[in-house]
Protein backbone atom coordinates (compact mmCIF):
# COMPACT_ATOMS: atom_id res chain seq x y z
CA UNK A 1 0.00 0.00 0.00
CA UNK A 2 1.56 3.20 -1.06
CA UNK A 3 0.90 6.89 -1.46
CA UNK A 4 -2.18 8.89 -2.43
CA UNK A 5 -2.42 12.67 -2.74
CA UNK A 6 -5.26 14.82 -4.05
CA UNK A 7 -5.51 18.60 -4.29
CA UNK A 8 -8.24 21.02 -5.32
CA UNK A 9 -6.30 24.26 -5.62
CA UNK A 10 -6.54 27.80 -6.92
CA UNK A 11 -3.60 27.33 -9.28
CA UNK A 12 -1.90 24.45 -11.12
CA UNK A 13 -1.51 21.59 -8.63
CA UNK A 14 0.87 19.13 -10.35
CA UNK A 15 4.05 20.38 -8.64
CA UNK A 16 2.44 20.39 -5.19
CA UNK A 17 1.13 16.86 -5.76
CA UNK A 18 4.59 15.55 -6.66
CA UNK A 19 6.11 17.34 -3.63
CA UNK A 20 3.48 15.77 -1.38
CA UNK A 21 4.12 12.32 -2.88
CA UNK A 22 7.81 12.83 -2.11
CA UNK A 23 6.95 13.08 1.58
CA UNK A 24 5.51 9.55 1.30
CA UNK A 25 8.59 8.14 -0.47
CA UNK A 26 9.85 6.55 2.73
CA UNK A 27 7.13 3.90 2.27
CA UNK A 28 8.79 2.64 -0.92
CA UNK A 29 7.21 2.46 -4.41
CA UNK A 30 7.93 1.25 -7.92
CA UNK A 31 6.20 3.83 -10.14
CA UNK A 32 4.23 7.06 -9.89
CA UNK A 33 1.61 9.06 -11.71
CA UNK A 34 -0.69 12.03 -11.64
CA UNK A 35 -3.95 13.04 -13.34
CA UNK A 36 -5.61 16.44 -13.48
CA UNK A 37 -8.76 17.98 -14.90
CA UNK A 38 -7.52 20.12 -17.82
CA UNK A 39 -10.27 22.47 -19.01
CA UNK A 40 -12.80 19.77 -18.17
CA UNK A 41 -10.81 16.88 -19.72
CA UNK A 42 -8.82 14.26 -17.82
CA UNK A 43 -5.10 14.08 -18.53
CA UNK A 44 -2.41 11.97 -16.90
CA UNK A 45 1.35 11.46 -16.78
CA UNK A 46 2.98 8.31 -15.41
CA UNK A 47 6.49 6.93 -15.07
CA UNK A 48 8.23 3.82 -13.82
CA UNK A 49 10.70 4.24 -11.01
CA UNK A 50 11.40 7.32 -8.97
CA UNK A 51 9.40 10.53 -8.76
CA UNK A 52 12.14 12.36 -10.66
CA UNK A 53 11.12 10.32 -13.71
CA UNK A 54 7.56 11.58 -13.33
CA UNK A 55 8.90 15.12 -12.91
CA UNK A 56 10.80 14.67 -16.19
CA UNK A 57 7.56 13.67 -17.91
CA UNK A 58 5.80 16.71 -16.45
CA UNK A 59 8.57 19.00 -17.70
CA UNK A 60 8.13 17.61 -21.23
CA UNK A 61 4.35 17.73 -21.07
CA UNK A 62 3.14 19.97 -18.22
CA UNK A 63 -0.26 19.66 -16.59
CA UNK A 64 -1.97 22.90 -15.61
CA UNK A 65 -5.22 21.73 -13.97
CA UNK A 66 -6.26 23.08 -10.58
CA UNK A 67 -7.69 19.73 -9.45
CA UNK A 68 -5.63 16.55 -9.46
CA UNK A 69 -4.73 13.22 -7.90
CA UNK A 70 -1.37 11.48 -7.61
CA UNK A 71 -0.04 8.08 -6.58
CA UNK A 72 3.09 6.17 -5.75
CA UNK A 73 2.48 2.48 -6.45
CA UNK A 74 3.65 -0.66 -4.74
CA UNK A 75 2.48 -3.26 -7.24
CA UNK A 76 0.31 -6.12 -6.01
CA UNK A 77 -1.45 -7.04 -9.29
CA UNK A 78 0.50 -6.52 -12.49
CA UNK A 79 4.18 -5.79 -13.03
CA UNK A 80 5.68 -2.43 -12.02
CA UNK A 81 5.45 -0.86 -15.47
CA UNK A 82 4.17 2.51 -16.69
CA UNK A 83 1.14 0.75 -18.18
CA UNK A 84 0.18 -0.54 -14.73
CA UNK A 85 1.03 2.67 -12.87
CA UNK A 86 -1.82 4.70 -11.43
CA UNK A 87 -3.90 6.76 -12.12
CA UNK A 88 -6.05 4.38 -14.14
CA UNK A 89 -8.65 6.11 -16.25
CA UNK A 90 -10.93 6.42 -19.24
CA UNK A 91 -12.43 9.58 -20.73
CA UNK A 92 -14.82 10.01 -17.79
CA UNK A 93 -13.10 8.84 -14.59
CA UNK A 94 -9.58 8.70 -13.16
CA UNK A 95 -8.72 6.67 -10.04
CA UNK A 96 -5.77 6.15 -7.71
CA UNK A 97 -5.96 3.25 -5.28
CA UNK A 98 -4.07 1.86 -2.32
CA UNK A 99 -4.84 -1.72 -1.39
CA UNK A 100 -6.35 -4.72 -3.15
CA UNK A 101 -9.75 -5.28 -4.83
CA UNK A 102 -10.43 -8.92 -3.98
CA UNK A 103 -13.31 -9.43 -6.42
CA UNK A 104 -11.57 -7.79 -9.39
CA UNK A 105 -11.64 -10.98 -11.48
CA UNK A 106 -15.42 -11.25 -11.26
CA UNK A 107 -15.81 -7.52 -11.88
CA UNK A 108 -13.44 -7.65 -14.86
CA UNK A 109 -15.31 -10.60 -16.42
CA UNK A 110 -18.66 -8.86 -15.95
CA UNK A 111 -17.43 -5.49 -17.27
CA UNK A 112 -15.56 -7.01 -20.21
CA UNK A 113 -18.77 -8.81 -21.20
CA UNK A 114 -20.49 -5.41 -21.14
CA UNK A 115 -17.88 -4.03 -23.54
CA UNK A 116 -15.50 -2.22 -21.18
CA UNK A 117 -11.89 -2.47 -22.38
CA UNK A 118 -9.08 -3.01 -19.85
CA UNK A 119 -5.64 -1.55 -20.60
CA UNK A 120 -3.67 -2.73 -17.56
CA UNK A 121 -3.10 -5.88 -15.50
CA UNK A 122 -4.14 -4.26 -12.23
CA UNK A 123 -7.03 -4.94 -9.90
CA UNK A 124 -7.46 -1.15 -9.69
CA UNK A 125 -8.65 -0.66 -13.26
CA UNK A 126 -11.86 -2.55 -12.42
CA UNK A 127 -12.78 0.38 -10.14
CA UNK A 128 -12.61 2.81 -13.08
CA UNK A 129 -15.05 0.75 -15.11
CA UNK A 130 -17.40 -0.01 -12.19
CA UNK A 131 -17.76 3.75 -11.61
CA UNK A 132 -18.23 4.36 -15.34
CA UNK A 133 -20.86 1.62 -15.44
CA UNK A 134 -22.69 3.35 -12.58
CA UNK A 135 -22.36 6.74 -14.32
CA UNK A 136 -24.05 5.23 -17.39
CA UNK A 137 -27.12 4.58 -15.17
CA UNK A 138 -26.98 7.84 -13.23
CA UNK A 139 -24.82 10.69 -14.47
CA UNK A 140 -24.09 11.97 -10.96
CA UNK A 141 -20.56 11.30 -9.65
CA UNK A 142 -21.70 11.18 -6.03
CA UNK A 143 -24.41 8.57 -6.69
CA UNK A 144 -22.13 6.63 -9.05
CA UNK A 145 -19.33 6.34 -6.48
CA UNK A 146 -21.76 5.44 -3.70
CA UNK A 147 -23.18 2.62 -5.82
CA UNK A 148 -19.76 1.54 -7.11
CA UNK A 149 -18.39 1.20 -3.56
CA UNK A 150 -21.10 -1.34 -2.79
CA UNK A 151 -19.74 -3.50 -5.63
CA UNK A 152 -16.11 -3.51 -4.39
CA UNK A 153 -14.67 -6.08 -1.98
CA UNK A 154 -11.28 -5.80 -0.36
CA UNK A 155 -9.13 -3.09 1.11
CA UNK A 156 -8.90 0.31 -0.43
CA UNK A 157 -8.23 3.99 -0.15
CA UNK A 158 -9.41 5.78 -3.29
CA UNK A 159 -9.17 9.22 -4.84
CA UNK A 160 -11.30 9.86 -7.93
CA UNK A 161 -11.69 12.76 -10.38
CA UNK A 162 -14.19 13.18 -13.21
CA UNK A 163 -14.18 14.84 -16.62
CA UNK A 164 -16.38 17.93 -16.68
CA UNK A 165 -15.98 18.41 -12.91
CA UNK A 166 -12.99 20.61 -12.18
CA UNK A 167 -14.01 21.30 -8.58
CA UNK A 168 -14.49 17.74 -7.35
CA UNK A 169 -12.44 14.93 -5.83
CA UNK A 170 -14.18 11.94 -4.32
CA UNK A 171 -12.47 9.78 -1.72
CA UNK A 172 -13.25 6.50 0.03
CA UNK A 173 -11.70 4.53 2.84
CA UNK A 174 -12.08 0.82 3.59
CA UNK A 175 -9.15 -0.79 5.33
CA UNK A 176 -6.57 1.71 4.15
CA UNK A 177 -6.17 5.16 5.73
CA UNK A 178 -7.05 8.57 4.24
CA UNK A 179 -6.76 12.07 5.69
CA UNK A 180 -8.51 15.20 4.45
CA UNK A 181 -6.78 18.58 4.78
CA UNK A 182 -8.78 21.80 4.97
CA UNK A 183 -7.25 24.86 3.32
CA UNK A 184 -8.58 28.30 2.56
CA UNK A 185 -10.41 27.88 -0.75
CA UNK A 186 -8.37 24.71 -1.28
CA UNK A 187 -8.82 21.09 -0.14
CA UNK A 188 -6.32 18.27 0.21
CA UNK A 189 -6.34 14.51 0.49
CA UNK A 190 -3.53 12.21 1.59
CA UNK A 191 -2.99 8.59 2.56
CA UNK A 192 -0.91 10.01 5.40
CA UNK A 193 -1.30 13.46 6.99
CA UNK A 194 2.50 13.88 6.69
CA UNK A 195 1.98 14.42 2.96
CA UNK A 196 -0.23 17.43 3.71
CA UNK A 197 1.88 19.06 6.44
CA UNK A 198 3.13 22.02 4.33
CA UNK A 199 -0.40 22.87 3.17
CA UNK A 200 -2.50 22.72 6.33
CA UNK A 201 -2.64 21.35 9.85
CA UNK A 202 -6.46 21.20 9.84
CA UNK A 203 -6.93 17.47 9.24
CA UNK A 204 -9.97 15.17 9.32
CA UNK A 205 -9.39 11.40 9.19
CA UNK A 206 -11.96 9.32 7.37
CA UNK A 207 -13.39 6.50 9.47
CA UNK A 208 -13.62 2.96 8.21
CA UNK A 209 -16.28 2.75 5.47
CA UNK A 210 -16.49 6.53 5.01
CA UNK A 211 -16.51 8.26 1.64
CA UNK A 212 -16.18 11.96 0.96
CA UNK A 213 -16.99 14.68 -1.56
CA UNK A 214 -14.28 17.35 -1.68
CA UNK A 215 -14.77 20.73 -3.30
CA UNK A 216 -12.68 23.90 -3.04
CA UNK A 217 -15.10 25.25 -0.43
CA UNK A 218 -15.14 22.19 1.86
CA UNK A 219 -15.93 18.53 2.30
CA UNK A 220 -18.99 16.40 2.95
CA UNK A 221 -18.33 13.02 4.57
CA UNK A 222 -20.74 10.08 4.46
CA UNK A 223 -20.70 6.70 6.17
CA UNK A 224 -21.18 3.38 4.37
CA UNK A 225 -24.97 3.74 4.70
CA UNK A 226 -24.90 7.13 3.01
CA UNK A 227 -25.53 9.09 6.22
CA UNK A 228 -23.67 12.36 6.78
CA UNK A 229 -20.68 11.69 9.02
CA UNK A 230 -18.88 15.07 9.17
N1 LIG B 1 -3.37 -3.21 -6.02
C2 LIG B 1 -3.01 -2.02 -6.70
C3 LIG B 1 -1.98 -2.29 -7.77
O4 LIG B 1 -1.29 -3.27 -7.74
C5 LIG B 1 -2.56 -0.91 -5.74
C6 LIG B 1 -1.19 -1.10 -5.16
C7 LIG B 1 -0.82 -0.04 -4.10
O8 LIG B 1 -1.44 -0.06 -3.01
O9 LIG B 1 0.09 0.76 -4.35
O10 LIG B 1 -1.87 -1.54 -8.70
Number of the ligand 1 atom closest to the C-alpha atom of 98 = 8
Q: Is the CB of 33 under 6 A from ligand 1?
A: no
Number of the ligand 1 atom closest to the C-alpha atom of 76 = 4
CB atoms within 10 A of CB 201: 10
Q: Is the CB of 97 under 6 A from ligand 1?
A: yes
Q: How far apart are CA 160 and CA 131, in angstroms?
A: 10
Residues 6+ apart with CB under 8 A from 6: 17, 68, 69, 70, 96, 159, 161, 169, 171, 188, 189, 190, 214
Q: Quick one: 78 exposed, middle or buried, by C-beta within 10 A (0-12, 13-18, 19+)?
A: middle
100 CA → ligand 1 middle, Å: 6
Q: How far apart are CA 143 and CA 139, in angstroms?
A: 8
Question: Distance between the two ends of the chain, CA-based, in angstroms?
Answer: 26
217 CA → ligand 1 middle, Å: 30
| Residue-level pLDDT at 92 | 98
| Residue-level pLDDT at 230 | 85
Q: Are strands 187-190 and 93-101 parallel, antiparallel or unpaired?
A: unpaired
CA distances from 223 to 39, 124, 199 (A): 31, 22, 26
Strands of 3-8's sheet in order across: 41-48, 31-38, 67-73, 3-8, 187-190, 179-182, 203-205
Per DSSP, what are the bridge partners of residue 189?
Answer: 6, 180
| Residue-level pLDDT at 1 | 65
CB 68 within 8 A of CB 13: yes
Number of the ligand 1 atom closest to the C-alpha atom of 78 = 4
Low-confidence spans in the chain with pLDDT less than 50: none
Amino acid sequence: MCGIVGIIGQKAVATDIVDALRRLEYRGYDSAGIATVESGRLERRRAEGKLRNLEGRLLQEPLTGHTGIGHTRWATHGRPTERNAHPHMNAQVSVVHNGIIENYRELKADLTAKGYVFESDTDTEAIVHVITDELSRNDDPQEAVKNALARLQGAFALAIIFSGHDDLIMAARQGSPLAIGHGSGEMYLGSDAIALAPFTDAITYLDEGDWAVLRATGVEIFDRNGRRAD
